[in-house]
């Protein structure tokens, strides 16, 4: 039997020999760092499962990337995802894994063989700890990404102003990505509500650049291709100056000073100037 | 990762483009890839449209050829690549060919320039007499 | 064997509903069939419904524009209905404006447009 193999077996023996006591110590150590923000039952269940999986995996080797460790990796992934969602810090998350080392911490009386086993565990735990932190970071990124998306959704409400008229009041700085989202959402709303008049109100937009102006233009042209008319309202003097200075042709696109004017125009387009009549004639 | 495999360039599936039906097949193949890569609906539509333009170019101007396509990944971002190769007469002036409205046939001359606008990555290689290769990629936003 | 798309007659309006991804020859056939049917029936309007189309490339786009022009010469007004938002955005990016083709959101609105129920649209044509 090789020394390699013997070291492995010794590690398994040490961990499984006094399993109850070691798991207890581990849970104790970790719960201390979490200062009671996770229920004892929950934490105990989590770590017990992980410990069992780790010992089982160690019987077939110490390569944490191996197939035998898939259960361990899955449990660690779940652990770090949960911690990230619950707002624990990366340190608190990783400490749960690193605390495993303390269980076999050698003293001056520890046998040479057991020190070797401890060092092997050390190496493995380091790798698993890094894996945990990486998963944690990835989860946080996902959370941030989906929040950014939600924010984008929130910031671009498409509202129905009248039967056959929808409007999107834009507030804040428009960048290319946001303008694109607005464009897609507005066009989809035209279909969903069967509206053939759309108003893009940019009263709350402090400035536009060439790209954004082009996106607005494209939205109007796309709406026309679908059979709807688009009016742009609330263009500030500075924006008008910018658009002209940039040499962007707004061509035959209808622009109005205020949202009210645009609505009046849209209703006239719908076939009447009297809102009551428009309401009655609409389904 | 998430279970989907990314095709290595050498393993791209190859579709011959020799008839009008093959242009339809090219669109369907690219659509399947775009859905697999989870491109947004608008991005899917843009990519399929670009592929349609280039497949027709391959057929009409290149005298037929092949489309090689597959999923790709770069810097953690997933995408779909389609490459169109023919051994036709080639394009003498690439800059001119990419101008809106330029056409060697009776089309509207929006094929190449349009495909470039509709995709994220666009490369065009051609020599007179030695055929044309156009490659397009759309990345998941 | 290329498929032929049915051209339906409702009153003095011809209705074409494109349901599948078409290969180029079928697109050309449709243009011919439609022109022949306009003359044959004396129709004054044509509605082309593309609700089901996921893709309109420059070839199909050009066909739609020329079909509208041909119909007009044969004294029939064409309305294109049901274009999907993603298709519209793509066409704009492609640089295709379908110059002069009238459009409506739905089949119903398209028919109303042809019937002159929408005075504003009618005088815009």
Whole-number pLDDT of residue B103? 64
Mean pLDDT of C105-120: 79
A191 contacts in C (CB within 8 Å)?
84-85, 105
Q: What are phi and psi of A187, to 5 degrees?
A: -65, -40
Tens digits of per-residue pLDDT, B13-40?
999 999 999 999 999 999 999 999 999 9
Whole-number pLDDT of residue C103? 95
Alpha carbon distance B23, B58 (integer Å) = 9
Whole-number pLDDT of residue A15? 86
Ramachandran quadrant class, B45 (left: phi over 0; alpha: psi -120 to 50; beta: rest):
alpha
| Residue A283 burial by Cβ neighbours in a 10 Å radius (0-12, 13-18, 19+) | exposed
Q: Which two tokens stand for residue C124?
A: 């815009």
Which residue of B17, B19, B45 is the best one to mutate when testing the C interface, meaning the one whose CB has the most C CBs within 10 A? B45
Mean pLDDT of A171-187: 85
How many CB pairs (< 8 A) connect A and C?
Answer: 61
B61 contacts in C (CB within 8 Å)?
none
Nearest CA in chain C to B100: C95
Give chain A's mean pLDDT: 85
3-state secondary structure of C115: coil
Q: Considering only CA atoms, which of C5, C65, A178, C89 is closest in space to residue B48?
A: C89
Q: Which chains form contacts with chain B, at 3 or more CB pairs under 8 Å?
A: C
Contact flag B49-C94 (C-beta cutoff 8 Å): yes
Residue-level pLDDT, tens digit, chain B, 141 residues:
444 456 666 678 999 999 999 999 999 999 999 999 999 999 999 999 999 999 999 999 899 999 999 999 988 889 999 999 999 888 888 888 777 766 655 555 678 889 999 999 999 998 888 899 999 999 998
B111 contacts in C (CB within 8 Å)?
58
Q: Report the percentage of chain C scoring pLDDT > 90.
A: 67
Q: Considering only CA atoms, which of B141, B139, B3 is closest in space to residue B73?
A: B139
Q: Which two tokens stand for residue C5?
A: 């798309």
Residue A39 has pLDDT above 80, yes or no: yes
Indicate the pLDDT class of residue A277, thresholds 50, 70 and 90: very low
What burial letters (b/e) apply to B109-136, b meaning 16+ CB within 10 Å?
A: bbbbbbbbbbbeebebebeeeebbbbbb
Alpha carbon distance C92, C63 (integer Å) = 16
**Residue B103 neighbours by CB under 8 Å, 6+ apart:** B109
Alpha carbon distance A222, A197 (integer Å) = 13
Residues of C with CB under 8 A from a CB of A: 80-81, 83-86, 88-89, 91-93, 97-98, 102-106, 109-110, 118-120
Instruction: Give the CATH number of domain B13-139.
Output: 3.30.565.10
Distance of CA C42 to the CA centre of its chain: 17
Taking the CA of residue B13 and the nearest CA in chain C, the distance in Å comes to: 22
* Residue C51 included in any domain: yes
Residues of B with CB under 8 A from a CB of C: 20-21, 23-24, 27-28, 31, 41-42, 44-46, 48-49, 52-53, 56, 100, 107-108, 110-111, 113-114, 117-118
Nearest CA in chain A to C84: A226
Residue C123 has pLDDT above 50, yes or no: no
Where do the structural domains in chain B lie, given as residue ranges? 13-139
Residue A48 has pLDDT above 80, yes or no: yes
A269 contacts in C (CB within 8 Å)?
120
* Residue C37 included in any domain: yes
Alpha carbon distance A261, B78 (integer Å) = 45
Residue A274 has pLDDT above 50, yes or no: no
Mean pLDDT of A45-56: 90
* Residue C1 included in any domain: no
> Can you list the positions of beta strands (E) in chain A?
159-162, 165-171, 197-204, 229-233, 254-256
Indicate the pLDDT class of residue A33, thresholds 50, 70 and 90: confident
Contact flag C85-A225 (C-beta cutoff 8 Å): no
Indicate the pLDDT class of residue C125, thresholds 50, 70 and 90: very low
* Residue C38 included in any domain: yes
Query: Is the Cβ–Cβ distance between A200 and A219 less than 8 Å?
Result: yes
Comparing CB atoms, the residue among C85, C98, C104 nearest residue A184 is: C85
Alpha carbon distance C29, C20 (integer Å) = 15
Whole-number pLDDT of residue B8? 65
How many CB pairs (< 8 A) connect B and C?
Answer: 69
Query: Is the Cβ–Cβ distance between B106 and B34 less than 8 Å?
Result: no
Mean pLDDT of C2-11: 86
Number of separate domains in chain C = 1
Tens digits of per-residue pLDDT, A144-169?
888 877 777 666 788 999 999 999 99
Higher per-residue confidence, A72 vs A252: A72
| Residue A72 burial by Cβ neighbours in a 10 Å radius (0-12, 13-18, 19+) | buried
Q: Which domains does chain A have, with CATH numbers?
A: 3-150 (1.10.490.10), 159-281 (3.30.750.24)
Whole-number pLDDT of residue A129? 92
Taking the CA of residue A99 and the nearest CA in chain C, the distance in Å comes to: 53
Whole-number pLDDT of residue A149? 76
Report which secondary-structure segment, H or E, holds B125: strand B121-126
Mean pLDDT of A115-139: 90
* Residue C2 included in any domain: no
Residue C107 has pLDDT above 80, yes or no: yes
Q: Using alpha carbons only, what angle is made at residue B102 by residues B97 and B103, rounded to the nearest 5 degrees?
A: 95
Tens digits of per-residue pLDDT, C28-82?
999 999 999 999 999 999 999 999 999 999 999 999 999 999 999 999 999 999 9
Contact flag C89-B45 (C-beta cutoff 8 Å): yes
Comparing CB atoms, the residue among A221, A224, A227 nearest residue C109 is: A227
Query: Is the Cβ–Cβ distance between A64 and A72 less than 8 Å?
Result: yes
Nearest CA in chain A to C95: A218
Whole-number pLDDT of residue B9? 67
Q: Which two tokens stand for residue A193?
A: 């509500």
**Residue A197 neighbours by CB under 8 Å, 6+ apart:** A164, A165, A166, A228, A229, A231, A266, A267, A269, A270
Whole-number pLDDT of residue A243? 83
């Amino acid at each position: 039997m090789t020394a390699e193999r013997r070291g492995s077996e010794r590690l398994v023996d040490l961990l499984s020999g006094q399993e109850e006591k070691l798991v207890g110590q581990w849970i104790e150590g970790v719960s201390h760092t979490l200062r009671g923000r996770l229920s004892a039952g929950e934490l105990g269940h989590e770590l017990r499962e992980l410990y069992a999986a780790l010992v089982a995996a160690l019987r077939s080797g110490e390569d944490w990337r191996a197939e035998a460790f898939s259960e361990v990796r899955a449990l660690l992934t779940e652990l770090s995802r949960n911690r990230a969602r619950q707002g624990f810090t990366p340190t608190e998350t990783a400490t749960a894994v690193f605390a495993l080392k303390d269980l076999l911490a050698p003293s001056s009386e520890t046998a040479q063989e057991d020190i070797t086993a401890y060092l092997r565990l050390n190496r493995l735990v380091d790798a698993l700890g890094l894996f945990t932190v990486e998963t944690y970071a990835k989860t946080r990124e996902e959370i941030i990404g989906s929040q950014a998306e939600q924010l984008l959704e929130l910031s671009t409400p498409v509202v129905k102003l009248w039967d056959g008229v929808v409007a999107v009041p834009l507030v804040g700085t428009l960048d290319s990505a946001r303008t694109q989202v607005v464009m897609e959402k507005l066009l989809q709303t035209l279909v969903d509500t069967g509206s053939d008049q759309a108003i893009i109100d940019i009263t709350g937009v402090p400035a536009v650049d060439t790209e954004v102006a082009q996106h607005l233009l494209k939205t109007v042209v796309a709406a026309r291709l679908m059979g709807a008319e688009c009016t742009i309202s609330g263009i500030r003097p500075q924006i008008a100056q910018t658009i002209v200075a940039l040499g962007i042709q707004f061509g035959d696109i209808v622009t109005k000073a205020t949202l009210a004017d645009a609505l009046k125009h849209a209703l006239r387009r719908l076939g009447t100037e009297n809102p009551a009549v428009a309401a009655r004639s609409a389904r | 990762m998430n279970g989907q495999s990314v095709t290595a360039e050498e393993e791209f599936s190859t579709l011959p483009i020799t008839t009008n039906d093959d242009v339809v097949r090219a669109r369907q193949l690219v659509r399947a890839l775009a859905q697999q890569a989870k491109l947004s609906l608008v991005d899917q539509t843009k990519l399929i449209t670009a592929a349609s333009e280039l497949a027709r170019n391959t057929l009409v101007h290149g005298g037929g050829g092949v489309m090689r396509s597959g999923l790709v990944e770069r810097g953690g971002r997933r995408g779909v690549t389609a490459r169109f190769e023919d051994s036709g007469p080639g394009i003498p002036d690439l800059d001119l060919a990419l101008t809106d409205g330029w056409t060697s046939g009776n089309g509207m001359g929006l094929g190449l320039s349009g495909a470039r606008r509709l995709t994220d990555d666009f490369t065009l290689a051609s020599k007179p007499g030695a055929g044309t290769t156009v490659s397009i990629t759309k990345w998941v936003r | 064997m290329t498929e032929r798309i049915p051209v339906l007659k409702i009153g003095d309006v011809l209705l074409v509903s494109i349901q599948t991804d078409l290969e180029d020859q079928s697109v050309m056939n449709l243009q011919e069939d439609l022109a022949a049917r306009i003359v044959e029936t004396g129709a004054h309007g044509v509605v082309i419904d593309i609700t089901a189309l996921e893709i309109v490339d420059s070839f199909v786009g050009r066909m739609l524009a020329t079909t509208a022009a041909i119909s007009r010469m044969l004294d029939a007004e064409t309305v294109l209905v049901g274009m999907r938002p993603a298709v519209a955005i793509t066409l704009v990016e492609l640089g295709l404006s379908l110059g002069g083709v009238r459009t409506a959101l739905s089949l119903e609105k398209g028919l109303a447009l042809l019937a002159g129920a929408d005075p504003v649209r009618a005088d815009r044509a």
